[in-house]
Amino acid sequence: MISLLLLLFGWMPLQAAAQVPLPAAHAAVAKENPAITALALKIYGQMRAGKVDSTLLSDEMNQELSPMRLALQRPVLEQLGNPLKLTLESTDKTQYGTRWVYLAVFATAQLQVTIYVMSDGKVGGYELGL
């Protein structure tokens, strides 16, 4: 199941991924932003429901989160359920936006949730994995 999760949830369009540098070795302490945390949970909930609000996403992410892809991942998301706890681990600001990395605790797993919010406020990347 773990390899399936990695394959299903590696959604950062290549263009956006190329623009996002790796986090610094000594990143500053992450400061919680309730609006971003709510957005990460909202996107996850919509993915579980099988339809993500396209106005929240960049054009590239809208293509990545197609109805077919959402349908394929739905059984895995249903098995995971909702996160019991979501804790911000780090943030990394770039010239294109900010990457927010959370630890999501589910009843059966702990996974990292990465959401990349572009400067225009659109979600340009979303990843759920180890």
Per-domain boundaries in the chain: 2-13+29-129
pLDDT at 31: 87
* Cβ–Cβ under 8 Å, residues 12 and 125: yes
pLDDT of 23 > 60? The answer is no
How many Cβ atoms sit within 10 Å of the Cβ of residue 69?
A: 14
pLDDT of 25 > 70? The answer is no
Read off the pLDDT of each residue in 94-103 and give the average, rounded to a whole number: 96
Parallel/antiparallel/unpaired status of strands 97-105 and 85-93 = antiparallel
Read off the pLDDT of each residue in 120-128 and give the average, rounded to a whole number: 96
What percentage of residues in the chain have a pLDDT greater than 90?
Answer: 75
Query: Tokens 């399936």, residue?
Result: 4
What's the topology of domain 2-13+29-129?
Nuclear Transport Factor 2; Chain: A, (3.10.450)
pLDDT at 130: 80
Tell me the whole-structure pTM to 2 decimals: 0.78
Angle, helix 34-49 to helix 67-80, in steps of 10 degrees: 100
pLDDT of 18 > 50? The answer is no
